[in-house]
């Protein structure tokens, strides 16, 4: 879908109506200066032309033709930061124009947004300039949100899932992104903590500033302090003669992501706490206090609260990090997301390696019931391995790694072993009760449990009575008769 298509989506009609009701001219461009969308004020006030005449035009070419000077898009592209200037049109109209960009995941320009009003309507005061910048930031935030919603609907990589638990995590992500304070992301290995941190940065007001990632477990304890805070000339033997800028300084005005924060040595935890409280730090070998405007996002796959009880993590640092906690559920707690993830990564690696593999029903069932201790990372890596190594078009149980295949087949075999003290009828009843009880426990709805098991809701109601199972709301049973 072309990028400008997001502005023609019927679901965004209210958003576009609001933008068109604004008397100031608004332009949205791609990184090359091509016009993706303008509001009605831009068409009426500048050129008195139709939407078709402006959309798909290139503002750099328009500048060369003398329609206006200077091009705000050109200035933003050259400087890569917010620009506020006076622009003169072909009919000698003077405009106060502001421009800024929305970055992609790498921090490069993806979209440019500009806002313009005539100087005759603008009081030349600092207050008015601040209002113009505030408006532009608001428009940028709304457009970022629009793009984020579109990407989620299209199954953006690392953000695939419709389960209740996962959707709740995504909704919380959107909320914490708008608040400029510390976030602590928790979750097992492979659930996507780094992707969540990067998305918080992308949706925040700091999106056009650096995103710096430090894995606290990947750097030797002797080096992590200098890596984080930097060091001055001659701080230690072997140090760079000119000193070194630390990652906190490198993340100025942006975000510093501290992955595996539980691995940060105790003696550095106090320095990090000082920075979180005062936004100040002292480089290794230095004496001057440095200030930095940096938002901290931390992540861990361990229980930090438990580590505070054993003295392995400072309690005051934990509570300072835990202002906005964000937990990402493991795959075994959102099994309804497993099949969509399988479809996504199968398509991804089929395309990458020019294959045409499919999954057999038996293999899909095994994947659905597997606990995925490595979560999304394990699922993705396994799909890539199978796509590369399997020769048959349809991938089946025989293609699984021995560990997973033996584990899953062992579970299946144990289900078919008839205990010596039970008849077949008793054993089948026991299995049916366990399956219905577990399915209902996961879904908390007899209607959903019936749909999952491929039976009617009335059938589930009869089995609840037969096995004396408890339902959350008694009205469920009465409505099923």
- How many CB atoms sit inside 10 A of residue 184's CB? 22
Instruction: Give pLDDT tens digits for 461-472.
Output: 888 888 888 876
311/217 same-domain check: yes
Instruction: Give CA–CA dist 23/42, Å, rounded.
Output: 9
Q: Please state the pTM of the whole predicted model.
A: 0.58
Contact 401, 386 (CB under 8 A): no
Segments of the chain with pLDDT less than 70: 1-12, 45-52, 119-158, 234-242, 408-422, 424, 472-481
Instruction: Give CA–CA dist 353/361, Å, rounded.
Output: 23
For residue 139, the number of C-alpha atoms closer than 13 Å in the C-beta half-sphere is 28
Q: Which residues contact 266 (CB under 8 A, 6 or more apart)?
A: 312, 313, 314
- How many CB atoms sit inside 10 A of residue 88's CB? 13
What Å distances lie between residue 343 and 18, 42, 186, 192, 376, CA to CA?
38, 43, 26, 18, 13
When divided into structural domains, the chain yields a total of 4
163/30 same-domain check: no
Contact 394, 210 (CB under 8 A): no
What is the bridge-based pairing of β-strands 183-186 and 211-215?
unpaired
311/232 same-domain check: yes
314/367 same-domain check: no
25/41 same-domain check: yes
Alpha-carbon torsion (41, 42, 46, 50), positive or negative: negative
Of the candidates 359, 333, 332, 243, the one whose C-alpha atom is nearest the C-alpha of residue 290 is 243
Give the pLDDT score at 327: 94
CATH number at residue 77: 3.30.450.20
Give the pLDDT score at 276: 94
Q: Which residues contact 456 (CB under 8 A, 6 or more apart)?
A: 450
67/23 same-domain check: yes
208/307 same-domain check: yes
Give the pLDDT score at 16: 77
195/323 same-domain check: yes
Please give the residue range of the domain that contains residue 439: 424-480
Instruction: Give pLDDT tens digits for 324-362.
Output: 999 999 999 999 999 989 999 999 999 999 999 999 888
What is the bridge-based pairing of β-strands 211-215 and 255-259?
parallel
Which of 283, 311, 327 is the endpoint of a domain? 327
Which of 278, 312, 327 is the endpoint of a domain? 327
161/200 same-domain check: yes
168/63 same-domain check: no
Which of 83, 118, 146 is the endpoint of a domain? 146
Helices (H) and strands (E) in the chain, counts: 21, 15
363/476 same-domain check: no
Instruction: Give CA–CA dist 459/446, Å, rounded.
Output: 10
Cis peptide before 366 (omega within 30 of 0): no
376/463 same-domain check: no
């Amino acid at each position: 879908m072309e990028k400008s298509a997001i502005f023609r989506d019927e679901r965004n009609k209210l958003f576009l109506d609001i933008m068109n009701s604004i008397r100031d001219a608004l332009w949205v461009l791609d990184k090359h200066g091509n016009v993706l969308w303008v509001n009605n004020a831009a068409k009426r006030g500048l050129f008195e032309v139709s939407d078709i005449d402006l959309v798909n035009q290139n503002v750099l070419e328009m500048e060369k033709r003398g329609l206006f000077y200077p091009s705000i898009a050109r200035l933003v592209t050259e400087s890569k930061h917010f620009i506020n200037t006076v622009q003169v049109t072909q009919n000698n109209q003077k405009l106060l124009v502001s421009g800024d960009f929305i970055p992609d995941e790498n921090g490069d320009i993806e979209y440019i947004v500009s806002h313009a009003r005539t100087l005759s309507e603008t009081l030349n005061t600092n207050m008015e300039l601040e209002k113009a910048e505030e408006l532009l930031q608001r428009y940028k935030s709304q457009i970022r949100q629009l793009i984020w919603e579109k990407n989620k609907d299209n199954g953006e990589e690392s953000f695939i899932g419709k389960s209740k638990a996962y959707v709740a995590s995504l909704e919380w992500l959107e909320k914490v992104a708008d608040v400029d304070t510390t976030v602590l992301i928790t979750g097992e290995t492979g659930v996507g903590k780094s992707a969540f941190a990067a998305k918080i940065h992308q949706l925040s007001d700091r999106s056009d500033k650096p995103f710096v990632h430090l894995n606290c477990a990947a750097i030797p304890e002797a080096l992590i302090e200098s890596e984080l805070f930097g060091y001055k000339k001659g701080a230690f033997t072997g140090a760079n003669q000119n000193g070194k800028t630390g990652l906190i300084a490198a993340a100025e005005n942006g975000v510093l992501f501290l992955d595996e924060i539980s691995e940060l040595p105790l003696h550095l935890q106090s320095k990090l706490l000082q920075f979180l409280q005062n936004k100040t730090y002292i480089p290794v070998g230095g004496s001057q206090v440095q200030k930095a405007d940096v938002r901290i996002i931390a992540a861990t796959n361990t229980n930090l609260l438990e580590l505070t009880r054993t003295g392995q993590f400072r309690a005051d640092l934990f509570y300072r990090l835990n202002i906005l906690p964000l937990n990402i559920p493991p795959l075994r707690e959102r099994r309804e997301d497993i099949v969509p993830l399988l479809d996504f990564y199968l398509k991804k690696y089929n395309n990458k390696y020019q294959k045409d593999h499919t999954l057999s029903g038996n293999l899909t069932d095994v994947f659905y019931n597997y606990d995925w201790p490595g979560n999304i990372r394990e699922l993705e890596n396994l799909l890539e391995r199978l796509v590369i190594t399997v020769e048959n078009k349809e991938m089946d149980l025989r293609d699984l790694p021995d560990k997973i295949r033996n584990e899953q087949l062992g579970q299946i075999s144990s289900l078919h072993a008839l205990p010596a003290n039970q008849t077949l009828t008793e054993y089948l009843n026991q299995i049916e009760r366990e399956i219905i009880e577990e399915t209902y426990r996961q879904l908390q709805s007899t209607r959903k449990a019936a749909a999952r098991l491929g039976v009617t809701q009335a059938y589930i109601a009869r089995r609840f009575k037969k096995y004396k199972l408890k339902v959350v709301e008694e009205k469920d049973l009465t409505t099923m008769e």
